[in-house]
Amino acid sequence: MFGDGGDGGFGGMDGDITGSNNSPLLTDGVKAILVLVGFLVAFFLLLVLLG
């Protein structure tokens, strides 16, 4: 569970091990949702700026 993926997103591996940044709340599903929301926000910002 601690090194699942290990790609370093959202503070990387030591963020999950140390328990900082509310790691019990940031499960893999929540991280995936945050990533998707981040991409959607960036996409809409690009549409607004380019539109």
> pLDDT by residue (tens digit) across 2-40?
545 545 455 445 545 555 555 566 678 888 999 999 999
State the pLDDT at residue 47.
Answer: 96
* Residue 42 is assigned to a structural domain of this protein: yes
What's the rounded Cα separation, in Å, for the pair 16 and 4?
A: 10
Residue with tokens 């940031």: 26
State the pLDDT at residue 20.
Answer: 54
Q: For the chain, how many structural domains are there in total?
A: 1
State the pLDDT at residue 15.
Answer: 47
What's the rounded Cα separation, in Å, for the pair 38 and 48?
A: 15
Domain containing 35 equals 9-50
Residue with tokens 């981040």: 38
Q: What is the pTM of this model?
A: 0.44
* Residue 1 is assigned to a structural domain of this protein: no
* Residue 32 is assigned to a structural domain of this protein: yes
pLDDT band at 42, cuts 50/70/90? very high
